[in-house]
Structure 1
Amino acid sequence: MSIQTTIEQKINQAFAPEHMELINESHMHNVAPGSETHFKLVLVTEQFVGLRLLARHRAVNQLLAEELAGGVHALALHTLTPAEWQARGGVPASPACRGGSSN
């Protein structure tokens, strides 16, 4: 099973999201084609109501501790309540990679 599929399953089971996007952004970085090392997670759930941003991120990081200790190098988190999601209308685009090159 792919890392992306594993993460999606864990998120769905733990958070019952109203909206979830897990975007593999590895292609934007200096990694081998087909890598699963850099992800952006947009997670909208009622479970975040009343939680500060740090608590939301800790909950996700704890759930994905195995993946973060293994092959996942970066996980950009956008953790929102349904009201915040509605008010924002989306999340910002990811910046271009500023990492080193393979040359």
Structure 2
Amino acid sequence: MEGLLAAAFPGANITLSNDSAQHRGHAGDDGSGESHFSLLIIWDGFAGQNRVARQRLVNRALGDLPGQRVHALAIKALTPGE
């Protein structure tokens, strides 16, 4: 995921956390240890865009990953000044 995000958002500060252990045994946990993630992405290119537009850009960059291999992705997308 980090590679896809870095390619789509050049110069972004990306922090991707694997939260899967906190969801062991819950819906969507496939036992792989890679089902639930949190993302903090800070990028100049988000300026002038609302929260939904930013999340759509992130989801577009990740393609089919969310919903297939990744069950849940919490996205926090900000500009450097936020």
Larger RCO, structures 1/2 (Cα 8 Å, 6+ apart):
2
Q: CA RMSD in A?
A: 1.2
Aligned-partner SS, 1:66: coil
Identify the structure with the greater strand proportion.
2
Aligned-partner SS, 1:69: coil
TM-score for the superposition, normalised by structure 1: 0.70
Whichever of the two has the greater Rg, that structure is 1
Q: Does 1:68 align with 2:66?
A: yes
2:3 to 2, 9, 13: 9
Contact preservation (8 Å) 2:43, 2:80 = yes
TM alignment of 1:24-43, pairs within 5 A? 24-30=18-24, 31=29, 32=31, 34-43=32-41
Structure 1 runs, 4 residues or longer, greater than 3 Å off: none
Number of equivalences: 77
Identify the structure with the greater helix proportion.
1
